[in-house]
């Protein structure tokens, strides 16, 4: 499960990094450019990675008996909200017939996406620390 979580986090982070570069290009549309096609693919992978993300972390907490469980579950509720909010923003962008660099820049600036990324960094550090304790 940890490797699946890592893969999902990588998909989300890679999409964010790509969108930063896309936003800097000053494009009016994603149509007709190689980076535009890549943009939609990165956003789709990120969208897929967000589906069920909190449930996956919930299963990890249960399987690894992480304590205090109530603290983890409270954070998982936060992760679930942040993932759903970020996913809604990503899906809205994907639904547009043309995706400009400015639109992507606004997506990147979204508090929802930033909150999600911070959640992922926190989870990564928590799990690293737990792994180190067990070693």
Q: What is the DSSP letter of 99?
A: -
Angle at 125 between CA 74 and CA 117, to 5 degrees: 70
112: left (phi over 0), alpha (psi -120 to 50) or beta: alpha
Angle at 17 between CA 78 and CA 80, to 5 degrees: 15
| Interval 88-114: pLDDT, tens | 999 999 999 999 999 999 999 999 999
Give the pTM.
Answer: 0.92
Do 80 and 115 contact (CB within 8 A), yes or no? no
| Interval 11-67: pLDDT, tens | 999 999 999 999 999 999 999 888 888 999 999 999 999 999 999 999 999 999 999
Q: What is the DSSP letter of 68?
A: S
Nearest to residue 66, comparing CAs of 132, 5, 126? Answer: 126
CA dist., res. 10 & res. 44, Å (int): 13
Domain residue extents for the chain: 2-134
Extract the tokens encoding 92.
């809205």
């Amino acid at each position: 499960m940890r490797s699946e979580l890592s893969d999902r986090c990588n998909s989300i982070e890679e999409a964010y990094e790509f969108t930063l570069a896309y936003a800097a290009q000053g494009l009016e549309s994603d149509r007709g450019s190689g980076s535009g096609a890549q943009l939609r693919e990165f956003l789709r992978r990120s969208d897929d990675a967000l589906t069920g993300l909190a449930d996956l972390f919930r299963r990890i907490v249960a399987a690894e008996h992480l304590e205090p469980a109530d603290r983890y579950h409270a954070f998982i509720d936060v992760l679930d909200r942040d993932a759903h909010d970020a996913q809604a923003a990503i899906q809205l962008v994907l639904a547009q017939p043309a995706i400009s660099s400015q639109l992507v820049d606004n997506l990147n600036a979204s508090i929802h996406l930033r909150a999600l990324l911070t959640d992922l960094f926190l989870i990564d550090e928590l799990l690293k620390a737990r792994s180190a304790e067990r070693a």
